[in-house]
């Protein structure tokens, strides 16, 4: 089998890349280890940045997002038993879209298939070879059979545990890593959200986040110790703990409860690989970098990487110009490091460090008070959250 761009992974990065390349007349094949159903049901992120929503719209895959997604003009920071709103349009002129990653993936798969695109589900890439030549190839297995995808360029969009990054010859890349001493217990619940905008809550008991998927479905997260088994958290215990962390001093707010339909644990980690390219192998999305989810950046970064990569491949295809391919890694890493810092900053600002003490807690509250009191401090948060336009 032969194609121009061999893409490993049908997550948001691989699918959007294949879609954007198709729009520029560049052929690709996507190899995906899992089934279509699995890819469409995997619960993950929920916030789409302003600029990423524009990319989806402009490339013709934004219509369901615009109908079913929820435009959010701000978030609430809740700390010290008080609520403080961050007004995105007032501070930045931008807003964000609440639209689940599962829906972005469904839209992209449907569109690729309608456009005659090739996504091979159940195809597990096993190695990437000859990336230092003009004709790299991906070896893969499907239905117990070994096969090969020959291409001009390989895009590893295969997530943190994929094989793309591990195919880099030793000594080529450097990695930067930070593991946090806590995780998130995430739930989906069939209950109307108890808020109109997302609530990021700092409390002595630890961090909590109230998000949503629709006017009928809530998504909530609790900071828990690493190694937590979700089975130790009964539904009642989860709701009690969430209520305690979101409690306002004046008691003027109630968290509505409903049937919990999904429980999962997300470890918290920061990770970057440099460079994001070697020869004809390009890394994009979680294959190259991970952020802790507090800043809602993982999905957005993945989409930004492939927007750059699609443009670079198209310029090469149309004009034989390799300048954008050559600068891809540096261009992508500028945004990656900005998002790494913001995600680290939001995480350390809002979580209770199990090894920290009262001093750290007081510093966090002081910083949160500063954000509540200062337009400059609030703007810094809002610009990063809604997505900084970087060129
Ligand atoms: P992925 O979505 O991981 O897609 C990679 C694809 O490659 C997968 O479909 C995988 O099956 C496939 N693949 C892997 N190996 C192979 C192989 N050898 N051959 C073929 N295919 C392969 N971000 C947030 O902003 N907020 C959140 O709440 C949040 N929650 C998360 C929860 C979890 C459990 C995880 C893992 C991530 C979460 N993220 C969150 C991060 C966000 O979802 C990711 O940043 C985003 O999915 C990255 O997209 P991607 O396409 O780069 O990678
Ligand atoms: C969601 C996840 C996040 O990490 C975040 O910061 C905001 C929302 C979500 O899943 O809805």
Tokens of 46: 């929920």
Residue 22: pLDDT band with limits 50, 70, 90: very high
Q: Are residues 226 and 288 in the same domain?
A: no
18 close to 307: Cβ distance less than 8 angstroms: no
Q: Are residues 245 and 311 in the same domain?
A: no
Ligand 1 atom closest to the Cα of residue 302 is: 52
11 close to 18: Cβ distance less than 8 angstroms: no
Residues in the chain: 391
Q: How far is the CA of 186 from the centre of ligand 1 (A)?
A: 16
Backbone angles phi, psi at 374, to 5 degrees: -115, 125
Say which ligand is closest to the CA of 70: 2
Residue 252: pLDDT band with limits 50, 70, 90: confident
The answer to whether residue 93 scores a pLDDT higher than 60 is yes
Tell me whether residue 77 is in a domain.
no
Over residues 130-168, the pLDDT tens digits come to: 999 999 999 999 999 999 999 999 999 999 999 999 999
ipTM of this model? 0.96
**Mean residue pLDDT across the chain:** 96
Which of 6, 7, 8, 9 has the most ligand 1 atoms within 8 A of CB, as the residue to mutate? 9
Tell me whether residue 86 is in a domain.
no
Residue 389: pLDDT band with limits 50, 70, 90: confident
pTM: 0.96
Beta bridge partners of residue 199, listed in sequence order: 76, 210
CA distance 205 to 200: 14
CA distance 243 to 235: 12
| CATH of residue 252 | 3.30.9.10
How much of the chain, in percent, has pLDDT values that exceed 90? 96
Ligand 1 atom closest to the Cα of residue 163 is: 18
Q: Are residues 173 and 232 in the same domain?
A: no
Question: Which among 118, 119, 148, 121 is positioned nearest to 136, based on CA atoms?
Answer: 148
What pLDDT was estimated at residue 210? 98
347 close to 268: Cβ distance less than 8 angstroms: yes
What pLDDT was estimated at residue 34? 98
In the predicted model, what is the mean pLDDT of residues 11-40?
Answer: 98
Is 200 a catalytic site residue?
A: yes
CA distance 310 to 19: 9
* Mode of pairing for the β-strands spanning 153-156 and 281-283: parallel
Q: Are residues 238 and 362 in the same domain?
A: yes
Over residues 333-357, the pLDDT tens digits come to: 999 999 999 999 999 999 999 998 9
Backbone angles phi, psi at 89, to 5 degrees: -60, -40
Domain that holds residue 199: 179-267+350-386
Instruction: Output the ligand 2 site: residues, CB below 6 A.
Output: 45-47, 198, 209, 211, 219, 293-294, 296
Q: Are residues 256 and 309 in the same domain?
A: no
Question: Which among 173, 167, 172, 170 is positioned nearest to 127, based on CA atoms?
Answer: 167
Angle between helices 358-373 and 323-350 in degrees, nearest 10: 110
Q: Are residues 34 and 133 in the same domain?
A: yes
Over residues 311-323, the pLDDT tens digits come to: 999 999 999 999 9
User: In the chain, how many domains are there?
Assistant: 2
Beta bridge partners of residue 6, listed in sequence order: 29, 154
């Amino acid at each position: 089998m032969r194609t121009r761009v061999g893409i490993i992974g049908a997550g948001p990065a691989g699918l959007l890349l294949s879609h954007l390349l198709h729009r520029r007349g560049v052929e690709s094949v996507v190899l995906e280890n899992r089934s279509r159903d699995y890819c469409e049901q995997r619960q993950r992120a929920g916030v789409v940045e302003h600029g990423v929503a524009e990319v989806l719209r402009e490339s013709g895959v934004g219509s369901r997002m615009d109908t079913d997604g929820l435009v959010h003009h701000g978030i609430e920071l809740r700390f010290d038993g008080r609520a403080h709103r961050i007004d995105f349009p007032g501070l930045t002129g931008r807003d964000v879209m609440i639209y689940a990653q599962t829906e972005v993936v469904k839209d992209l798969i449907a569109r690729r298939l309608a456009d005659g695109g090739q996504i091979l589900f159940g195809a597990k890439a096993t190695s990437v070879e000859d990336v230092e030549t003009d004709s790299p190839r991906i070896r893969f297995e499907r239905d117990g059979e070994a096969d090969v995808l020959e291409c001009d360029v390989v895009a590893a969009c295969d997530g943190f545990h994929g094989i793309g990054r591990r195919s880099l010859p030793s000594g080529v890349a450097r990695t930067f890593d930070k593991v946090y001493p806590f995780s998130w217990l995430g739930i989906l619940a069939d209950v109307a959200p108890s808020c109109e905008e997302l609530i990021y809550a700092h409390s002595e008991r630890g961090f909590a986040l109230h998000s949503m998927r629709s006017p009928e479905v809530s998504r909530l997260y609790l900071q828990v110790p690493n190694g937590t088994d979700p089975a130790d958290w009964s539904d009642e215990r989860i709701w009690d703990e969430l209520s305690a962390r979101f409690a306002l001093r004046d008691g003027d707010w109630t968290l509505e409860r409903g049937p919990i339909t999904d429980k999962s644990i997300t470890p918290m980690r920061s990770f970057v690989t440099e460079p994001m390219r070697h020869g004809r192998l390009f890394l994009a999305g979680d294959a190259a970098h991970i952020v802790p989810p507090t800043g809602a950046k993982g999905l957005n970064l993945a989409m930004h990487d492939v927007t750059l990569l699609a443009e670079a491949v198209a310029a090469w295809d149309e004009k034989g110009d390799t300048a954008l391919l050559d600068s891809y890694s540096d261009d992508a890493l500028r945004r990656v490091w900005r998002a790494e810092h913001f995600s680290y900053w939001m995480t350390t600002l809002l979580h209770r460090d199990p090894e920290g003490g009262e001093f750290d807690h007081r510093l966090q509250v002081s910083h949160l008070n500063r954000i509540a009191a200062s337009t400059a401090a609030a703007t810094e948060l809002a610009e990063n959250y809604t997505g900084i336009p970087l060129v």
